[in-house]
Amino acid sequence: MLANLIGGFIVIVIGVNLMPTVADQVATAKSSGNVTGATSTILGLVPLFFALGIMSAGIAIAAQGLRAAGLLGV
C-alpha cells in the first residue's frame, strides 16, 4: 500500500517538474511559424492534456494502493 502511495506521489512530482519543459516546447513549436489555425489551437491544449494525464495517473496509482489496503470503500 505504501509503495503505491509513494509511487503516485512520485508520478505527480515528476510530472509537475516536467510541465515547464512541455510548455516551452509547445511555445517553441507555435513560434516556428509553421503552425496556424486549428492546429495551433490543438497544440496549445497539449500542456493541459499532459497535466490531466499526470494527475489522473497519480490519483489512479494512489487509489489502487488505498483499495489494496481496504481504506477505499470501493
pLDDT in tens, 1-55: 788 778 888 888 999 999 999 999 999 998 887 888 898 999 999 999 999 999 8
Does 52 map to a domain? yes
pLDDT higher than threshold 90 for residue 72 = no
- Domain assignment of residue 35, given as a range: 2-69
Does 26 map to a domain? yes
Does 57 map to a domain? yes
Q: What nine digits make up the cell of 33?
A: 511559424
**Count of domains observed in the chain:** 1
Residue 1 confidence (pLDDT): 74
Does 15 map to a domain? yes
Distance CA 60, CA 38 (A): 32
Does 74 map to a domain? no
Q: What is the mean pLDDT of residues 53-61?
A: 89
Of residues 64 and 46, more confidence is placed in 46
Is residue 4 within 8 Å of residue 71, measured between CB atoms? no
Residue 74 confidence (pLDDT): 64
